[in-house]
Amino acid sequence: MIGPLGYPYPSSPAVDKDILRYTNQEYTKLYDAIQDFVIRDGYNYKRIEDFGAKPETGFDNTAAFAEAVEWANAETNPAGLIFGPGIWEYDESPNWAVDNFQILANGAVRLRYSGTGDAFIIDGGAAGAGITNMFVGRFLIEAHDGAGDGVYIRAVHRSFFSFNVRGCGTTQAALRTEWCVIDEFQFTTSVNEGGWYNDGSGAAKPLYGAYLDKRGAGEATSYCTFLNPIIEGTDTGCLIQDGIGNNFYGGTMEACTNIGLDIGSASLWNKCYGADFEANTNHDIYIQGDNNHINGSDTLELITVISGAQGNQITGGSHSQITINSGASATDLSHLTINRFGDASTLTDNGTGTHVDHVYDFGNDEWIGHWDDLRFPVANLKAGASGVPTWDNTNGLQEFSIGDYLFCQVQLPHAWKIGSTLKPHVHWCKITSAANLVRWQIEYKWAKIGQVMDAAFTTIADETPDVSDGDTAYQHALTALPDIVPAGDVDISDMLIIKISRVATVGASYGTRAVLFEFDIHIQTDTDGSLAEFEK
């Protein structure tokens, strides 16, 4: 019978009763526990006690641990080591990295570390291909505040690890990985399990819950899987310093005094599914890298995508505030909720190329849209009986003297966010290089569907360019006109009747004709259209 990791379950007992020398009850419990793990036939198992280890207060197991690793390295068949329940004290970790090594905890196994290095070391080396196919867990690590990392793993691939780190050095990580590839982690480090371990010198609060890093150039921690990680009360929950394609499923990163999840600038394609982020002091999620995905996770504080980050996706979930900083590009926000508590938290988008699709503002009970243009190329505008612009037969442009005007009409599209502000603007240029101002004006009437059109025009105008001063001949300038704020019962399919004119300026006026390239209105959209044909 094949197990979930592709290994066959043993067809006969893989543990020797005589070697274990357990009572029948203890052995039955142990063997049943082992059967729950995915193991291969042919493993040679020993107890840690076989090397002189003792779960006794004051007994240093350092030498016994080192002897067990020597045995595992020397074994022809894959080795399995079994820890029974209890507190196992030691002051120096051996390097537990051995190909195919299974290190199994039977019951509540506490490894209590009193040294100054890393509490549990699995190091496949600073060079070379590393170690594969280990199975370690589930161990509870208790290291004091002056120790190194709780668990340090380097260059170990296609392996399984299960740890609960109750404490480590206060400037270190509960779990640190360097070039781990396709590993699976079941990992907990939490202040909510009786507080951080304290040997009397102080609480051993980790600086990082998990720290994912590289070994060397091109050797990032990659495509590892974290199942239901519980990280609570560290400074930063998880820093993906140099990680590619790692996956986090469920779990929580909360009550961290800095950041819940920090994705570094060198990290790509990492994904977080269905996680809970809450009560983190500065940020729930801080994204610096490219093409990372946050899917169906919930946050209470702030998600920030910083300058330089590209192509990141936040999909689904309920959130408070999301900020896209200037310099961030191509961020995709879709099918999610913001302002989840109605406390005026917002989506702040200062990035470029941000895609917003089906983002719901719970507090204001409205969909957040993105901007689009209603465009009016001058070639499509209609002249009146007088004040007709001059046609430039060389460039195919309309040149406006003061008093010239054209008409246009537009229907508000089904994608329009009903009631949102309209932002008219003019694209234009001068035909000679000269200073002084050009003033553009629009007059509009609103014709609400099913109602009588406005009797009088509303007039808005401006003469201050917003893009380019327009003082060079044929230099494209843009002038934004005052907003059109809809009033009353407006809807899709309403019509606007618009007259656009060049009028006398308040300041010194440019004395030659000015070209109108195009008149546009920026509108906010919140859907791709409407489900019903005539209403939304």
CB 282 within 8 A of CB 323: no
pTM score of the predicted model: 0.76
Are 221 and 335 in the same domain? yes
Which of 368, 383, 404 terminates a domain? The answer is 368
Are 285 and 411 in the same domain? no
Domain count, the chain: 2
- Average pLDDT per consecutive 10 residues, the chain (536 residues; last block may be shorter): 36 38 48 48 88 97 98 95 97 98 96 98 98 97 98 98 98 98 98 94 96 98 98 98 98 98 98 97 98 97 97 97 97 95 90 89 85 86 88 91 94 92 95 94 95 95 87 94 93 94 92 94 86 81
Structural domain for 235, as ranges:
207-368
Residue 452 placed within a domain: yes
Are 364 and 424 in the same domain? no
Are 375 and 515 in the same domain? yes
Which residues 6+ apart lie within 8 Å of 69 measured at CB?
A: 94, 95, 96, 98
Which of 323, 339, 368 terminates a domain? The answer is 368
Say whether 50 sits in a helix, a strand or coil: helix
- The amino acid occupying position 364 is N
Are 316 and 462 in the same domain? no
The structure tokens listed for 425 are 């603007």
Are 469 and 436 in the same domain? yes
Residue 145 placed within a domain: no
- DSSP character for 2? B
Instruction: Note the pLDDT of residue 29.
Output: 57
Residue 443 placed within a domain: yes
Instruction: Note the pLDDT of residue 25.
Output: 54
Instruction: Note the pLDDT of residue 3.
Output: 37
Are 393 and 492 in the same domain? yes
Residue 513 placed within a domain: yes
CATH number at residue 379: 2.60.120.260
Phi, psi torsion values for 415, nearest 5 degrees: -80, -10
- The amino acid occupying position 230 is I
Residue 241 placed within a domain: yes
CB 240 within 8 A of CB 266: no
Instruction: Note the pLDDT of residue 17.
Output: 37
Which of 315, 338, 368 terminates a domain? The answer is 368
Residue 263 placed within a domain: yes
- The amino acid occupying position 446 is W
Size of the chain, expressed as the number of residues it contains: 536
- DSSP character for 277? E
Are 431 and 390 in the same domain? yes
CB 420 within 8 A of CB 524: yes
Are 361 and 376 in the same domain? no
CB 234 within 8 A of CB 205: yes
Are 438 and 521 in the same domain? yes
Alpha-carbon distance 65 to 69, whole Å?
6
Alpha-carbon distance 132 to 98, whole Å?
8
Residue 359 placed within a domain: yes
The structure tokens listed for 127 are 């060079």
- Give the helix/strand (H/E) hosting 160: strand 160-167
- Give the helix/strand (H/E) hosting 30: helix 24-36
Are 360 and 384 in the same domain? no
Angle at 287 between CA 285 and CA 293, to 5 degrees: 85
The structure tokens listed for 322 are 């999301």
Instruction: Note the pLDDT of residue 536.
Output: 78
Alpha-carbon distance 119 to 115, whole Å?
7
Residue 258 placed within a domain: yes
Are 387 and 301 in the same domain? no
C-alpha closest to that of 113 among 75, 83, 141, 73 = 141
